[in-house]
Amino acid sequence: MEFLVRQAIRRYLKRHYRREMRSIIARAERIRPKLAKRAPYIGGKKNALANNLDMFILFLSYYEASGHRMAGDAIDEIIDDIYRHLRFLDIFMDINRRPFLILLRNCLYKSYLRYAEKVRQKQSKGEWLASWGMSVDPDKTDEGFAFTLIGCPIAEYGKKYGYTELIPHMCALDHAYAKLLHAKLIRTHTVALGADSCDYWYVPDKSRTARNFKGKIV
């Protein structure tokens, strides 16, 4: 994923800061390790979700390297660019097709349950305390797939070091992922907006639930 993000950032720089591109990249490479040192240790490659925090820090390094010009709008544009370059996948990944949904859900839930158990074990030993907790399919729904992430090191990092306004733009990546699956993400609260968890419910975008849901989606 980092490779895809880096390529999208480079395309963004070519569109908007072609003359400064090399200097911005060089500054970002110098800044990123300093930002990473501030982050809590949540397992690195042993943690399946740690890459999300790494991606946020990558965006922050360019935010700082560009003199805060690559802010929320830049993150939105970069995420849209990643979606466009992956859009061919939506030919194969469509949760409106029931067999695909069942296969995907079974695979995801197995992975999520392993992650949740690993985090519980680590945190019982006083490790990975800042990582996301996870509840899988909390409402036992058969429509789409659902989970809840408890706590958020991205939100905590952003709040602690003054990047609060950028966090919701990072959260928008989840909605781009939904589009690749022909899904709608119904999410009513996030840690970034003051809750203690983020709820995720991906439903087929042609479903009655997707069409009729009237609540606020974040």
pLDDT at 52 over 90: yes
Average pLDDT over residues 166-181: 94
pLDDT per residue as tens digits for the range 140-167: 999 999 999 999 999 999 999 999 999 9
- Position 119 scores a pLDDT of 97
Domain presence at residue 193: yes
Task: Report how many domains make up the chain.
Answer: 1
Average pLDDT over residues 180-189: 96
Residue 177 belongs to domain spanning: 2-212
The string over 81-99, giving b where at least 16 C-beta atoms fall within 10 Å of a residue's C-beta and e elsewhere, is: bbbeeeeeeeeeebbeeee
The Cα–Cα gap between 133 and 118 comes to 10
Identify which of 10, 18, 14, 19 has the alpha carbon closest to the alpha carbon of residue 62: 10
Local structure of 195: helix, strand or coil: coil
What average pLDDT does the chain have?
96
More confident residue, 14 or 217: 14
> Looking at the DSSP assignment, which residues form a beta bridge with residue 186?
201
pLDDT per residue as tens digits for the range 57-84: 999 999 999 999 999 999 999 999 999 9
Query: Is residue 144 within 8 Å of 154, Cβ to Cβ?
Result: no
Domain presence at residue 217: no
Domain presence at residue 97: yes
- Position 123 scores a pLDDT of 97
What is the arrangement of strands in the sheet containing 197-204, beginning at the earlier edge strand?
Answer: 133-136, 145-150, 197-204, 183-186
Pairing state of beta strands 197-204 and 183-186?
Answer: antiparallel
Domain presence at residue 67: yes
Identify which of 111, 138, 127 has the alpha carbon closest to the alpha carbon of residue 49: 111
pLDDT per residue as tens digits for the range 194-206: 999 999 999 999 9
Domain presence at residue 132: yes
pLDDT above 90 coverage of the chain, percent = 94
The Cα–Cα gap between 183 and 209 comes to 11
How would residue 10 be classed by pLDDT, with cut points 50, 70 and 90? very high
Query: Is residue 39 within 8 Å of 153, Cβ to Cβ?
Result: yes
The Cα–Cα gap between 65 and 31 comes to 7
pLDDT per residue as tens digits for the range 100-137: 999 999 999 999 999 999 999 999 999 999 999 999 99
